[in-house]
Chains A and B, each alone.
Chain A
Amino acid sequence: MINDEVEPLNLKKLQSGDQEELTKMVQQYSDSIYRVALRMLNNSAEAEDVLQETFIKALRSIENFEGRSSLSTWLYRIAVNEALMVIRKQKPEVTLIQDDFSDVENDGISVSQIVDWCCLPEPEFLSNETRIKLNEAIQKLSDNLRSVFILRDIEGLSIHETAQVLDLTETNVKTRLLRARMKLREELSIYFSDRLMEN
């Protein structure tokens, strides 16, 4: 969800340490990086730490940035890795269990909720209560599924860019995305079915 209409950054100036240009880069990307960190960690203090560490690392290593991916993809990659490091420090046992196969190749995709709640009034979807529910639902996803969903569906990266950020194949991204989306749809369907009955 980085705004593409902003003024393009001058990579040479960034790499030569031009502080005005570096400031522009931080201004352009700080909302997106903070949002990703907050969704990954569900903790505003930790998200702020990740935001700071991401830009500290970026400023330190931008002279080595080769432009094989876009600047935004590169920054997202640093941020996601920082967030995953925080998670791994907190839950090392989960990291060991959660390999690439655990999300992708286990049981089939569950479709148990068949209720059409799309007809609810639009303000229902943007309420604070819904916001809390969305957050709860996304936190129930594994880190592997959550990171794919955040980058692709919240930040609006392409499948290719998401694969670049997470160092996955595009097929793997698509598989994880399917599972993440369907799990969230199930969760929201339960919630909005109740709302439908109350309306």
Chain B
Amino acid sequence: MEKHLHCKEFVNTISSYVDGDLSEELCEELDKHLSECDDCRIVVNTLKKTIDIYHKQAEQDKAPDDVKDRLFYRLNLENFKK
């Protein structure tokens, strides 16, 4: 895939592309490339999914209750914790 100039250009801008952080003109150019290149389409979809999985998995992560209890104790704020 990297032998094609367009694919290389795409990879260098892929992160800004998934963030919607590119000019309209460049975005249209990359959309056109994506419609013609199966490999880059797979890369962009799997990249979006990678970010999405990390974000979703982290949503479940909270500091355990005993960790929070010790934190409030250390800060002398345990009496104010609801």
Question: Are A59 and B59 in contact, CB atoms less than 8 angstroms apart?
Answer: no
Minimum distance in angstroms from B68 CB to a CB of chain A: 6
The interface residues of chain B, by DSSP majority, are classed as helix
- Does chain B have a CB within 8 A of A189? yes
- Collect the chain A residues with CB atoms within 8 Å of residue B47's CB: 181-182, 185
Question: Are B46 and A185 in contact, CB atoms less than 8 angstroms apart?
Answer: yes
Question: Which B residue's beta carbon lies closest to that of A53?
Answer: B74
Given A31-B61, A31-B63, A34-B63, 6 more pairs with CB closer than 8 A: A35-B58, A56-B75, A114-B42, A125-B53, A174-B16, A181-B51
Could you jot down 7 A-B contacts, CB within 8 Å? A35-B61, A35-B63, A114-B1, A134-B54, A138-B54, A178-B15, A182-B11
- Does chain B have a CB within 8 A of A72? no
Question: Are B43 and A185 in contact, CB atoms less than 8 angstroms apart?
Answer: yes
Question: Are B71 and A26 in contact, CB atoms less than 8 angstroms apart?
Answer: yes
Partner of B57, one of A22, A44, A130, A149: A130
Partner of B12, one of A56, A109, A184, A185: A109
Query: How many B residues face the partner with a CB closer than 8 A?
Result: 39
Q: Given A23-B81, A153-B51, A156-B55, decide whether A116 and B71 contact each other with a Cβ distance below 8 A.
A: no
Partner of A188, one of B50, B59, B77: B50
The interface residues of chain A, by DSSP majority, are classed as helix
Query: How many A residues face the partner with a CB closer than 8 A?
Result: 50
Which residues of A come within 8 Å of B, CB atoms?
A: 1, 19-20, 22-23, 26-27, 30-31, 34-35, 38-39, 44, 48, 51-52, 55-56, 59, 108-109, 111, 113-118, 125-126, 130-131, 134, 138, 149, 153-156, 159, 174, 177-178, 181-182, 184-185, 188-189
